[in-house]
Structures are given as C-alpha cells and as structure tokens.
Structure 1
Amino acid sequence: MKRKVLAMAMAAVMALGLGACGEAASSSTAGSAASESKSSSQSAASASSSASSASGTSSASGSSSSAGSDSGAKAGTGEILSTGPNGETATPATELSLTDEEIEEIKAGGYTAAISFHYGGNDWSTAQRQGLEDTFKKLGIEVVAVTDADFAPEQQVADLETIMAKKPDVLVSIPTDATSTADAYQRVADAGTKIVFMDNVPAGFKAGENYVSCVSADNYGNGVIAAQLLGEKLGGKGKIGIIFYDVDFFVTNQRLEAFEKTIAEEYPDIEVVSKMGFTDEGACDVVADAMITQHPEVEAIFCHWDIPCEGAMSALRAAGRDDIYLSTIDLGNNVAKEIALGNIVGLGAQLPYDQGVAEATLAAYSLLGKDAPDYVAVPAKRVDQVNVLEAYTDVYHIDPPDWLVTAAEEGKK
C-alpha cells in the first residue's frame, strides 16, 4: 500500500517532458499505480548551408492529433507524422539553415545562452545538451548556465530565477510541468530572453508571442514503428499487452495513440488483451509481472519507453518467459545492448543530438529577427538488431561503443 501511495504522489512530478521519456539512468523503486483495462484494439538538422557552418511533452495539450490511416507505411521514412502541442504542422528540422553571413553576424553579437532541463541524468539529455553546446560553440554563443530540475517543478522555478540573474539572451528549456512552471517562464519572456522549448510548452503559451518555437521528436511516428515491429514479429496474428504511462501527457499520448491505431488498422488479427498503466517508471517489473500472471497468453508487450521496457524484461526473465517479444521507444544504452543481443525486437528512436542542433539554430533565428516555424520535429528512426550499430551513431553522433559492438557480434551467433 505504501508503494502505491508513493507512486500516486509522484504522478505530478513524473509528468515531465518525456522527450527524455525515461531514458533515465536511474529510476525510483516506489511502486506503480497499475491499472488494467481490456482493449480490442528524432536525419540531422543543419545549422547552416555548408559543412563548415554551425552544426547537433505537453500536458498543456493532453490529447494528441491523429495522423492519417496510411501513416504506418510512412513511419521511419523521414516524413513527420506528429503535430505540435497546439496542433501545429511540423517543419522538418532539416529545413532550418543559417547562411555564412548570418553565422558571422551571430558570432559578432557576443550572445549568451542558458539551458534548463527537467532532468539531466539520462542519455537523452546528455545527447541533447551535446547538440546544443556544439552548435552554440560554432555560433560563438556562450553557454552561461545549465540546470537540472530533477523532475521537480519547484526546483525548475528556482533554476529559472538563478538563470535570469545571468541575463542570458536565449533560453532553451523543457518544462517539468506545463502548468506550475508557466508563470516562471513568462517572467523569463518578459525580461526579454528568447525561449526555445524542447518537446513541451507551458500552458497558455503561443509560438511567436511567448516563445520562439518548440522542437520535438516525431513521437507519433515512433509509436507506429513500435507497433509495426511487433506486428511483423508476430506475423500479423497474436495476443499482446501494453504497458503505458498513466498520466495525461502530450508526447506519450501521441505514442500510445499511434501504437494502438497502427495495430488496429494494420494488424486486425492482433488482439490487445491487457493494458496496464504506471506512474513510476522504476516499478514496471511489478506491472509486467501482474500482466503475465493475469494473462499468460500474452505473446508480446509494448512499453512506453526504454526504462519501463527494462523493468518488463526483468520480470519476464524472472518468470522464465523468454518467449514474449518486446518493443519500445527511445534508444537508451541498456535497451540498445538488448536489441543487439536479440532480446528486444526493436524500437522507434528519437534523435536528441539533432534536436539540440535544431534548438540552438532556432535560438539564432530569434537573435537575427528571422521568422521561425512554430513547431519543428526530427524524424522517427526504426531500430532493430540489423541496424542497431548504425542507429546508435545516428542517435548519439558517436561511434558505437565497444560493449555494443561486442553485443552485436554475440547476437549474430
């Protein structure tokens, strides 16, 4: 009972910008508020026009927009299927550019920037920060502060106050909570600092008025990919379960909608026999154990992002159920290894480094007075055992580490 109470108390805090969506390096052990219901049913952005130029979720909205019924065939092709927090059509990050003259103008400005994360201790934040800092460096923009709210809205409000004392020209940030941080972000905007958001925007904010633009992954497209991976693995027929984030949050809503719609429309002979929610990503082993106990007929499970998938895998291993397939979203290091080994079918990946490049480029747009699109997205990427090494490089912009190469070699045996 204490575990459930703790989990419910954490629910508001967990309504974070889930572009990071659980690629957290550490997670809580508080229990999950699991509930079951039956159901039938990120290429790199260019910061310039030449190789020598600068290089790299919203509870305000709640519901997500549907893509067309033919969207499944397009996932992973580079076409953006998601819409923005306020229903905006996405501009691909690859369409952003700066001329050499614009870059020189930015360099001459002596500008400063700050970065405020909802949580900084995960693979997604690390890669996104790298994309931001690399691009700001090439633009001659000094980063004067980087903060980590550790999922706490009140800490982020304090962080924003600290940042404002440094008077940065631009702020790139992901709100921990769209409502409780809105006033703090408005104070930042009122002080004249230009804001570019990651994934999530504060309640009541409008692009071009309160902020410059919002950059996100194609979360709808990633949900489509996760569904197609399981559909293909099952040969279009079987019984599956869904472990989902049971909080009304924009980007995770998009993922879930896309997954369920794709299964229903593309794989009508696949039945969702169990759908269980969580509020604590660190307790998804408990959720998965309950699912396979109540529904031993489950043949595959979709998990909302990588950390819940790790928990589900732990439960399946403890139960000796290596016959159940898994798919998820977000290429964290742990799931990358499991995909390479063949223990996870695959996932839809974000491109956080590219997101960071796009955000820094949009910050430059604002300093130049250049018109910026309201909503920018990087494409979804399909990752499976065949392309996991290539995908790792695409996501993190580094060579695959030795441990991943070794795992891939072992997975081929």
Structure 2
Amino acid sequence: MTEEFTGAGLGRRAFLTGAATLAASAALWPREMRAAAADRKFAASLGWTTYDSGRHLQDGFNAAVKELGGSLTTTDAGFDARVQSDQIDSLVASKPEALFVTPADAVAIAPAVQRAIAAGIPVFCADSSVPGAMVTTTAMSSNFGMGQYSAEFICKALNGKGKIARVMLPQNESWDQRTLGMEWTLRRYPEIEIVTEWAFALAGNVTPRQAVDNILTSNPDVNAIWCAWDGASVEGTLAARAAGRADLILTGIDGGSQAFNYIAADTPLKLSMAQSFYEMAYASVFYAHEALAGRKTPRLVITPTYAVTHDMLKDGIPDDYDVPGRAGELGWTRAL
C-alpha cells in the first residue's frame, strides 16, 4: 500500500485494494472530468527502458494512461543525460498537458525539467527526484532505507563481524542515497570492515562483473559484497561462481525476474530490495489526472519496497509483484 501525504500535510491512501481500485477511482470523477481525462495529452521522457526496472516503469505508464484516460508519447534516452535533455525539450514543444520523467541523471537533466515547468507544464517524476526543480509529484522508493536494510541483512548474516566490499552507484543523488544508508547502518557494527569498493560509471570501461572479479582476486577472504543495484549483484553472482565462492553473500536493490531467479536458485545472491516501479509510474499518471482536475496532490509518494529472499519465491517467480495489490495476494509485506 502506498503511503502518501498532501502538500497540506493531510495523510490519505489512494491505493486501497490494488490496481482495480486505482482504475475504478476514475469512475468517481464527475462526468465532465472523465470526458476531459479521455482527451488528455501526456508525454513521458524515460531515462531508460532496459532491464526489469525500465520495463516495469514503461508498463506502469502505459497501463495507467489506458485505464485512466489520455494518450501518451514516450521517448527513451538510453541512460544518456544529454539525449534525455534534448528529448524533454522536444516533448515540451509538443505542448503536453503533463510530462512524466524517469531520470537517469537527475542533476544533468534538471535544467531541461525546469524549462518544462517554466513553460507551464506540470512534471511528475518516477524513481528519482530532480534537485532544484519544483515538480508536482515524485513517486519513488526510500533509497536511504534500502541501503540501510540491505546492509543490516549482511551484518546479521555475518553475526556482526567480517570483511565486506561494496559496489556503488553514484550516478544521481537518489541512487547515491543507498550508499549513505549502508554507511549509516555500519556505524552500529564496528567489527564489519569495508576492505574495498568500486563506483560504477555509465561511461566507464569496467563492468560490474569485471569489478567483482577484481574484488575477489585481490580480497579472497571477503565475506560479502553489498551492491547498490541488482545488475551488479547478478553479475557479481556470476563472478562468485567462477571463483568458487558459493559461501559469498551478495545483496542488491531493484527487484525483478532476473534477480529473483538467482535468489530462488540458492546462489550467493540472497536478497533483493524489490522496488515498485510499476506503481511509481501508475501513481504519476493518477496524480497528473488529479492535478489537472484541480485537486490536491502529494509532493512525495514513497512506494513499497519488498525485501525478497529465497522463501518468498518458493511458489514461483512473480513478474507482476509491483502492480498495486499483487504483493498482498502473494503474502508479501512491505519492508519499507
């Protein structure tokens, strides 16, 4: 269930019983508002559509527009901030009634987002905030909390003592919060030692697999590797297998079928902090309709995160866990 607070500080819950409730809520609008919603013109500037995260975000935007009304024009920047900035400017020129953004590099695209707002187009962000830009609503996970939780998982698995490495994702402010959350947890575990670390760069020449290969070669006694995203933890699992390190513990952040399959197969990947990407996108469209109808919207929506381990996947690999209401049907409860 999504927790939200309006700008006036009034707590309320829009996602009561899943996607059906969200879609059905449109039927509660006055007839003239429903008619206007059907003709809404939206645009989405997606920082990426690859990986499970990008696919779920795209699916959420498409489903919400289909169910709640409107048309949607979408662009994909492929993790290139310059391309995304140009795409935002082009979408603004088409004069949509609202713009949805999933930032790959939030700082770099902030000027383009600000230009959209200055042009009178309300902006709704999913997965990451854009610093310095007064967007209408941002729907995202608690990145600091996910870093805390996954670090705590490792510390408890090691009984509070051991050597760990970390693979970080400093690409934008939101993703870097995961590392800060991890560091906050480690303050309570003085006998956990970070022996090495590596920061991923989109334009770099070193892949996460190569980085973990190097970590295991130079630190053969490392007990665990904390990864800021599942792409690194999956590639790290392959490196652990190649090094014969079945005892290694890896954790990741994102969720999705690829990471879930590794967790279910009893590999060194033991935990994924599974984000609700579909719900982030759906919430963005929902609140765009609310804002355009003249109703209050929350400045920030923290969508659910599920701490997925082996036992949660014993009945299968759910690809739709982040559709509102589906996690409850699976018997999952949110960790954050």
Q: TM-score range by the shorter chain?
A: 0.7 to 0.9
Maintained 8 Å contact 2:106/2:173: no
Is 1:134 aligned to 2:66, yes or no? no
Maintained 8 Å contact 1:222/1:349: no
Q: Bigger shift: 162-171 or 325-334?
A: 162-171
Match of 1:75 in 2: none
Maintained 8 Å contact 1:53/1:100: no
Pair 1:220–1:106, CA change in 2 (3 A): farther
Q: Which has the higher strand share?
A: 2
Match of 2:28 in 1: 101
Instruction: Choose the corresponding residue for 2:191, options 260, 269, 290.
Output: 269
C-alpha deviation, 1:306, in angstroms: 0.9
Alignment RMSD: 2.8
Equivalences, count:
310
Instruction: Choose the corresponding residue for 1:326, options 250, 264, 272.
Output: 250
Maintained 8 Å contact 2:209/2:235: yes
C-alpha deviation, 1:190, in angstroms: 3.1
Aligned residue for 1:296, secondary structure, equals: coil
Residues in 2 aligned to 1:50 and 1:318: alpha-carbon distance in whole angstroms? 45
Instruction: Choose the corresponding residue for 2:297, options 366, 372, 382.
Output: 372
Maintained 8 Å contact 2:2/2:302: no
Pair 1:141–1:53, CA change in 2 (3 A): farther
Residues in 1 aligned to 2:130 and 2:184: alpha-carbon distance in whole angstroms? 28
TM-score (norm 1): 0.68
Is 1:285 aligned to 2:213, yes or no? no
C-alpha deviation, 1:308, in angstroms: 1.2
Gaps of 5+ in 2: 4-12, 328-336
Aligned residue for 2:292, secondary structure, equals: helix
Determine what percentage of the aligned residue pairs are the same residue. 27
Residue 385 of structure 1 aligns to which amino acid in structure 2? H
Match of 1:385 in 2: 310
Aligned residue for 2:78, secondary structure, equals: coil
C-alpha deviation, 1:50, in angstroms: 7.5
Match of 1:54 in 2: 22
Residues in 2 aligned to 1:176 and 1:269: alpha-carbon distance in whole angstroms? 35
Q: CA offsets per residue over residues 88-142 of structure 1, 9 Å max, x none?
A: xxxxxxxxx9574337454211212111101112211221222222222222222
Greater RCO, 1 or 2 (C-alpha within 8 Å, sep 6+): 1
Instruction: Choose the corresponding residue for 1:249, options 157, 163, 172.
Output: 172
Gaps of 5+ in 1: 1-42, 56-96, 401-413
Match of 2:140 in 1: 216
Instruction: Choose the corresponding residue for 1:317, options 218, 227, 241.
Output: 241
Residue 261 of structure 1 aligns to which amino acid in structure 2? W
Is 1:294 aligned to 2:218, yes or no? yes
Q: CA offsets per residue over residues 195-254 of structure 1, 9 Å max, x none?
A: 111233444312xxxx21111112122212212322232233322111212x36322222
Superposed, 1:9-408 pairs within 5 Å as: 43=1, 53-55=21-23, 100-102=27-29, 104-109=31-36, 110-143=39-72, 145-206=73-134, 211-245=135-169, 247=170, 249-265=172-188, 267-280=189-202, 283-343=207-267, 344-388=269-313, 389=316, 392-395=319-322
Residues in 1 aligned to 2:53 and 2:74: alpha-carbon distance in whole angstroms? 15
Maintained 8 Å contact 1:227/1:259: yes
